[in-house]
Amino acid sequence: MRTTDFIRSTPILAWVILYASLAVGIFGNLLGIMTPRVQAHFALDYTQMSFLMSLITVGSLFGAILGGDIAKRFDQRILLLIYTSIMLLLVLVLVTTAHYWVFVVAYTGMGVLDAALFTIAHSLLARMSQNEEHRTRMLSLADVGFSLGALFAPVWVSLILAWKSQWQQPYLLFTVFMVILLLAFSPKRFYPAAPSTPAKADIDDPTASSNQLSVYLSILRQPIILLVLGAYLCLGFVEWGQAFWLTSYVTKGLNLSEASANSSIFFLMLGMLIGRVWHAFLASRWSAQQKLQGLAILCLVGVITQNILGLSGWVNVAIYLFWLCSFLVGLGMSVAFPILLGQMIELFPEQASRLSALSVICISLGSSIAALLVGYLAEVFGMRLAFVAFIVGALTYLIFVTALLKQRKREALILALD
């Protein structure tokens, strides 16, 4: 499908979701960028900071449930409006509280609702088209929006802090994005009709309506699903781990300036954005599987080189190379979410919301592990050595992706022989 045809055939709600993802991307990147300032404001060590990060990702687990099974039982428009309104209130709590635990609770609540909103968005996008290519490219819109927000965040924060140095200012101005989003989600005419037929898993399993666990078990029996979820776990570890800790690594581990740290985050997010725009809008000779494996290799190369530059001390004279490595890491992670989700939706096309919830749960688990593990290692060994953990995460991600592609080829061969 040509880019112009894709743009013309994409519903208005998909573009609203792109904007919502942009807002979530900005907020999702704020904590990582503001880590040194928040850490100093509340007098936190690495372990306490990692605890805050892990609580946010645990909140995302509950958010995936709010956007998955629960969302299937209610009007998704009403849920989006409720979630967005609560998010607006929580941001106001963040900027007005002087108490650490109130800050933690509010931020955890944002983690819950961010994930719920993102999961519902994927479910809506999956229902907008029955064409596999069009559906996958629309699913990529959410990631494109998130990357745009994440890319914009460090520039936006730098400009705001140059105007007013209080760390609360970026959060306060974020409320403008939430008000616009609340208005954009309001029109009923934007929303696709709810599916009138029961899900495939519900037809096959007569007890599924009363026992939701059986639906998930039927999904998890598929080897491809397990490999995809393993890849998502590693994706969360590397992608969100870098988003959480890259600023601290550059400023405290490598003793470079805050401007260098913001530039590193910028190039990390630029890589993600370029990869997602390429996948969503530009036709490519590469298959989705080729993109997945090739970019996973780039990610591993980028993470290894980041650590070589940091451990050797060469980063002081090769900061541009470090930024290039951050770009490669972002590019390597960029298209994984929609491609992996598409692999699962092919098997269970009527279970998009549950599959999206499972993917968010695994990413949240991976990011929670990254928050706690890297924080603990930084406290014990220092941030420079703690960052080596991302090499293990990127390598494991590549192993899962390679195993997934081999399993797909094996199943395709069996199907051809039958």
pLDDT tens digits for 158-173? 889 888 888 889 999 9
Report how far residue 271's alpha carbon sits from residue 319's, in angstroms, rounded to the nearest whole number.
Answer: 17
Task: Give the tens place of pLDDT for each residue, 131-161.
Answer: 666 676 777 778 788 888 888 888 888 889 8
Stronger pLDDT, 398 or 352, i.e. the higher one = 398
Report how far residue 50's alpha carbon sits from residue 372's, in angstroms, rounded to the nearest whole number.
Answer: 5
Residue written as tokens 């140059």? 162
CB neighbours (10 Å) of residue 388?
A: 17
Closest CA to 110 of 132, 135, 92: 92
In a domain, 230, yes or no: yes
In a domain, 5, yes or no: no
In a domain, 167, yes or no: yes
Q: Is the pLDDT of residue 82 over 80?
A: yes
Report how far residue 179's alpha carbon sits from residue 273's, in angstroms, rounded to the nearest whole number.
Answer: 25
Ranges 23-32, 69-78, 207-216, 322-331, most confident = 322-331
Closest CA to 52 of 380, 368, 362, 265: 368
Report how far residue 167's alpha carbon sits from residue 41's, in angstroms, rounded to the nearest whole number.
Answer: 9
Instruction: For residue 311, give both structure tokens.
Output: 């451990």
**Range of 124's domain?**
12-191+200-417
Half-sphere exposure of 19 (CA within 13 A, CB side): 15
Q: Is the pLDDT of residue 187 over 50?
A: yes
Share of the chain above pLDDT 90, in %: 35
Residue written as tokens 């590019």? 331
Stronger pLDDT, 57 or 178, i.e. the higher one = 178
Half-sphere exposure of 133 (CA within 13 A, CB side): 11
Stronger pLDDT, 298 or 211, i.e. the higher one = 298
Q: For position 112, which CATH number holds?
A: 1.20.1250.20
Confidence bin at 414 (pLDDT 50/70/90)? confident
What is the structure's pLDDT at 373? 96
What is the structure's pLDDT at 203? 41
In a domain, 3, yes or no: no
Contact 2, 129 (CB under 8 A): no
Closest CA to 328 of 360, 294, 362, 359: 294
Stronger pLDDT, 415 or 372, i.e. the higher one = 372
For the chain, the C-alpha Rg in angstroms (whole number) is: 21
Task: Give the tens place of pLDDT for each residue, 193-231.
Answer: 655 444 444 444 444 444 567 777 888 888 999 999 999
Closest CA to 293 of 135, 407, 141, 122: 407
In a domain, 160, yes or no: yes
Closest CA to 334 of 259, 405, 282: 282
Report how far residue 225's alpha carbon sits from residue 62's, in angstroms, rounded to the nearest whole number.
Answer: 21
In a domain, 4, yes or no: no
Report how far residue 19's alpha carbon sits from residue 2's, in angstroms, rounded to the nearest whole number.
Answer: 22
Q: Is the pLDDT of residue 389 over 50?
A: yes
Query: How many folded domains does the chain comprise?
Result: 1
Contact 358, 217 (CB under 8 A): no
In a domain, 342, yes or no: yes
Residues recorded for the chain: 418
pLDDT, average across residues 405-415: 83
Share of the chain above pLDDT 70, in %: 89
Q: Is the pLDDT of residue 410 over 50?
A: yes
Confidence bin at 130 (pLDDT 50/70/90)? low
Query: What DSSP letter does each residue of 195-213 carry, written as one string?
Result: P-SPPHHHHH-TTTTT-HH
Task: Give the tens place of pLDDT for each residue, 350-386.
Answer: 787 788 778 888 998 999 999 999 999 999 999 999 9
Confidence bin at 232 (pLDDT 50/70/90)? very high
Instruction: For residue 50, give both structure tokens.
Output: 């990692």
In a domain, 2, yes or no: no
What is the structure's pLDDT at 112? 87
Which run of H or E residues covers position 108? helix 100-127
What is the structure's pLDDT at 208? 45
